[in-house]
């Protein structure tokens, strides 16, 4: 009887979610394949500036806008491009001098650095994320695979260093771990089984955000959600709890959990379901955008412009305009000493839930109980610090690899990290709990063409915003000597770690700088300098939270997109863009994309059969 009831519920949900007709007859944004052969890489700075750095003026605002988007991160550009492909005229406003959010790059002393795109999974041919990226850029965005192993876990100090290479491949990933931990074969198999079952079930998170709220409450309240969804069944369990049940081997526990840095929550506070999703994301490999991460925005923007929209920079939104009926009808943009009001029937925010609700909405709207309820569901994420290093020499001369290194002083990750956060800022600068090291130049096959004889390294770690808060009110580039000294201490500590991994770089360093949480606050409008928006802790994956934070906000005509709506990272923010576009258009664009994906896959198979 229970099985029959569950079957009926599942069928009803799927029919409602995937087969319903568009409410406003919005056209299908993925009705046809728009990919065309990629054009040669554009390296001319003037040509790139025309796309990525179009400064805001009132005259550049398109007429008869269908929507305005606040923020040009991948969540903002992604939803704008989807709407544009459905024929909508969209304006994207970016407060920084260049578009792209965390996908942008910057140059200094002749070196180019990415700021947020380090590696992306699930970009195999005909996978949903790859098809989405292809369609939103008309096939112009190209990807380069990383080495295999794509990650290397390094435990211990330089004199007691243990390296654990992490390989992609559904069979190779566990097989290589078994070579290093032959006595832990059973634990590794159980871990993989859980990862594959749980990590591939994230669809229920999207379903909770799309079905009517009463249906979501029914699924949650009756307990049916946990029966139907392995993801939500395991979501309340911490990563540390699960792996400790699988094995008592601390080294293997570290190998299972090391990549928590890609969402910023230590294993004892992280949901196993999120971690399983991440392991699944990289299980078949990792990729990097050819030409650097700014290629993402560079190829998304023309799609938006083609439909009559625009992406304008140096356009800080000061307030979302809301009328007496509590309906959003545009935004106010600061221009010099004055403001320019931009009107649109739809306002979409990629500025994050805290910026949107606490800073951009009028004070009287901020106090609305539904707004406060949603704010109470979320916490700020952990602050991040980045080190950018310019090197003299090619990747071959410097021994740089197209993979990532994750360094931990020991295998007790939770204890190390908690002690690190409790320490003073001076002590923290001397001894980071973890360091991520990668070479963007080694990952990009076009790098040598663009910057011959040069290379770059990027290093990341997490820090407490409170360590830097004393200088929050000071202007960028004019902060006190104590701030600069703290930056230098972190730089030296992380540089020493990088030299241990890549000893040939020691005398080849030509440029070094650091981005602190205050840097992130200034350039990407992160409220507390966080990399990943709202915290991805256990509380975030309670079904009530997942169902409660939706694209449609309590303010009519105001919508959320990006990583705070769904999950962090490139894929998570794009999923948020799909959810937002589905809500705005009144049609399920996720299903639209899936139909196109299946069509393209079938056509590809037919071509191979004919050729064979």
Give the tens place of pLDDT for each residue, 242-280. 999 999 999 999 999 999 989 999 999 999 999 999 999
| CATH number of the CATH domain containing 46 | 3.50.50.60
CA distance 255 to 191: 11
Would the pLDDT of 17 be above 70? no
pLDDT-derived band at 10 (thresholds 50, 70, 90) equals low
pLDDT-derived band at 608 (thresholds 50, 70, 90) equals confident
CA distance 330 to 349: 11
- What average pLDDT does the segment 415-443 reach? 95
Q: What's CA 51's distance to the chain center, in Å?
A: 22
Same domain, 305 and 364: yes
Same domain, 313 and 353: yes
Q: What is the dihedral of CA 152, 153, 157, 161, to 10 degrees?
A: -70
Q: What is the dihedral of CA 297, 302, 304, 305, to 10 degrees?
A: 140
Percent of the chain with pLDDT over 90: 92
Contact 407, 161 (CB under 8 A): no
Same domain, 152 and 251: yes
Same domain, 77 and 159: no
- The set of residues, in sequence order, having a beta carbon less than 8 Å from that of 291 and lying 6+ positions away, is 41, 142, 444, 446, 450
Look at residue 436 and tell me if it is in a domain.
Answer: yes
**Domain span at 452:** 147-284+380-523
- Return the ∠ at Cα 103 (arms to 99 and 108), rounded to 5°: 80
Same domain, 607 and 505: no
DSSP state of 215: H
Same domain, 394 and 247: yes
> What pLDDT is attached to residue 431?
87
Question: Considering its fold, how many domains does the chain have in total?
Answer: 2
CA distance 370 to 128: 34
- The set of residues, in sequence order, having a beta carbon less than 8 Å from that of 559 and lying 6+ positions away, is 346, 347, 348, 349, 551, 552, 553, 580, 583, 584
Same domain, 400 and 260: yes
> What pLDDT is attached to residue 559?
98
Contact 225, 541 (CB under 8 A): no
Same domain, 275 and 400: yes
* pLDDT tens digit sequence for 301-319: 999 999 999 999 999 999 9
**Domain boundary, last residue among 523, 540, 563:** 523
Residues across the chain: 612
Same domain, 48 and 86: yes
* pLDDT tens digit sequence for 529-568: 999 999 999 999 999 999 999 999 999 999 999 999 999 9
DSSP secondary structure letters along 162-174: EEEEE--STTHHH
Same domain, 226 and 257: yes
> What pLDDT is attached to residue 7?
46
* pLDDT tens digit sequence for 90-142: 999 999 999 999 999 999 999 999 999 999 999 999 999 999 999 999 999 99
Contact 318, 332 (CB under 8 A): yes
Contact 432, 413 (CB under 8 A): no
Burial class (CB in 10 A: 0-12, 13-18, 19+), 400: buried
* pLDDT tens digit sequence for 258-268: 999 899 999 99
Percent of the chain with pLDDT over 70: 96
Look at residue 119 and tell me if it is in a domain.
Answer: no
Look at residue 110 and tell me if it is in a domain.
Answer: no
| CATH number of the CATH domain containing 233 | 3.90.660
Same domain, 405 and 271: yes
- What average pLDDT does the segment 206-222 reach? 95
Look at residue 584 and tell me if it is in a domain.
Answer: yes
N-terminal to C-terminal alpha carbon distance within the chain: 49
pLDDT-derived band at 21 (thresholds 50, 70, 90) equals very low
* pLDDT tens digit sequence for 372-389: 999 999 999 999 999 999
Q: Please report which residue ranges of 235-394 form alpha helices under DSSP H.
A: 239-246, 250-257, 272-281, 294-306, 353-354, 363-366, 369-377
> What pLDDT is attached to residue 25?
63
**What is the rounded average pLDDT for all residues in the chain?**
94
**Domain boundary, last residue among 489, 523, 557:** 523
DSSP state of 587: S
Would the pLDDT of 9 be above 60? no
- Largest Cα–Cα distance of the chain, in whole Å? 72
- What average pLDDT does the segment 345-358 reach? 98
Sheet of strand 338-343: strand arrangement: 317-322, 328-335, 338-343
Buried b (16+ CB within 10 A) or exposed e, 46-64: eebeebbbbebeeeebbee
Contact 184, 249 (CB under 8 A): yes
CA distance 132 to 596: 10
Is the preceding omega at residue 68 within 30 degrees of 0, hence cis? no
* pLDDT tens digit sequence for 41-54: 999 999 999 999 99
* pLDDT tens digit sequence for 136-158: 999 999 999 999 999 999 999 88
> What pLDDT is attached to residue 8?
47
Look at residue 483 and tell me if it is in a domain.
Answer: yes
- Return the ∠ at Cα 206 (arms to 526 and 173), rounded to 5°: 85
Phi and psi angles of residue 311, each rounded to the nearest 5 degrees, phi first: -125, 110
- What average pLDDT does the segment 203-220 reach? 95
Question: Looking up tokens 């406060």, which residue turns up?
Answer: 372
User: Tokens standing for 212?
Assistant: 């009517």
Look at residue 117 and tell me if it is in a domain.
Answer: no
Look at residue 542 and tell me if it is in a domain.
Answer: no
Contact 269, 189 (CB under 8 A): no
* pLDDT tens digit sequence for 460-478: 999 999 999 999 999 988 9
Q: Identify the H or E element spanning 315.
A: none
pLDDT-derived band at 20 (thresholds 50, 70, 90) equals very low
Same domain, 260 and 406: yes
> What pLDDT is attached to residue 13?
57
User: Tokens standing for 227?
Assistant: 């029966």
**Domain boundary, last residue among 505, 523, 541:** 523
């Amino acid at each position: 009887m229970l099985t029959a009831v569950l079957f009926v519920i599942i069928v009803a949900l799927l029919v409602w979610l995937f087969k319903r007709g568009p409410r406003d007859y919005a056209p299908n944004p993925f009705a046809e394949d728009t990919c065309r052969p990629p054009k040669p890489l554009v390296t001319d700075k003037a040509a790139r500036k025309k796309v990525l750095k179009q400064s805001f003026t009132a005259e550049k605002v398109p007429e008869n806008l269908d929507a305005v988007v606040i923020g040009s991160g991948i969540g903002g550009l992604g939803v704008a491009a989807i709407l544009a492909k459905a024929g909508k005229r969209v304006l994207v406003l970016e407060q920084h001098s260049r578009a792209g959010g965390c996908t942008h790059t910057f140059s200094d002393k002749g070196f180019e650095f990415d700021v947020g795109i380090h590696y992306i999974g699930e970009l195999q041919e005909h996978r949903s994320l790859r098809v989405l990226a292809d369609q939103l850029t008309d096939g112009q965005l190209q990807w380069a695979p990383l080495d295999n192993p794509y990650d290397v876990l390094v435990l211990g100090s330089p004199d007691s260093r243990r390296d654990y290479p992490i390989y992609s491949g559904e069979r190779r990933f566990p097989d290589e771990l078994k070579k290093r931990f032959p006595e832990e074969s059973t634990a590794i198999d159980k871990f993989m089984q859980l990862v594959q079952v749980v990590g591939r079930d994230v669809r229920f998170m999207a379903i909770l955000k799309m079905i009517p709220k009463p249906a979501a409450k029914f699924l949650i309240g009756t307990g049916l959600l946990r029966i139907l969804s392995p993801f939500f069944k395991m979501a309340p369990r911490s990563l540390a709890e699960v792996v400790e049940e699988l094995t008592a081997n601390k080294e293997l526990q570290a190998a299972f959990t090391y990549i928590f840095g890609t969402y910023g929550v230590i294993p004892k506070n992280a949901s196993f379901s999120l971690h399983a999703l991440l392991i699944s994301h990289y299980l078949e490999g990792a990729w990097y955008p050819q030409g650097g991460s700014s290629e993402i925005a560079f190829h998304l923007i023309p799609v938006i412009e083609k439909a009559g929209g625009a992406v304008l920079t140096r356009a800080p939104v000061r307030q979302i305009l809301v009328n007496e009926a509590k309906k959003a009808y545009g935004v106010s943009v600061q221009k010099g000493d004055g403001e320019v009001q931009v009107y649109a029937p739809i306002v979409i925010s990629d500025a994050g839930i805290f910026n949107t609700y606490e800073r951009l909405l009028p004070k009287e709207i901020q106090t609305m109980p539904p707004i406060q309820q949603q704010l109470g569901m979320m916490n700020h994420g952990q602050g991040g610090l980045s080190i950018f290093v310019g090197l003299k020499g090619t990747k071959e001369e410097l021994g740089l690899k197209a993979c990532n290194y994750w360094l931990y002083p020991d295998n007790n990750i939770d204890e190390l990290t908690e002690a690190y956060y409790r320490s003073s800022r001076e002590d923290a600068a001397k001894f980071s709990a973890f360091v991520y090291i990668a070479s963007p130049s080694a990952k990009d096959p076009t790098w040598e063409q663009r910057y011959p004889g040069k290379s770059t390294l990027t290093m990341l770690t997490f820090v407490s915003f409170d360590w830097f808060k004393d200088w929050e009110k000071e202007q960028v580039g004019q902060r006190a000597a104590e701030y600069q000294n703290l930056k230098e201490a972190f730089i030296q500590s992380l540089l020493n770690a990088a030299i241990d991994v890549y000893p040939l770089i020691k005398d080849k360093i030509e440029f070094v700088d650091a981005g602190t949480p205050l840097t992130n606050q200034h350039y990407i409008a992160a409220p507390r300098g966080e990399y990943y928006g709202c915290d991805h802790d256990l509380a975030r994956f309670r079904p009530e939270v997942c169902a409660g934070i939706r694209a449609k906000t309590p303010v009519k005509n105001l919508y959320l997109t990006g990583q705070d709506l769904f999950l962090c990272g490139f894929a998570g923010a794009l999923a948020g863009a799909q959810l937002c576009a589905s809500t705005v258009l009144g049609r399920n664009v996720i299903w639209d994309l899936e139909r196109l994906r299946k069509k393209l896959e079938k056509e590809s198979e037919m071509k191979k059969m004919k050729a064979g």
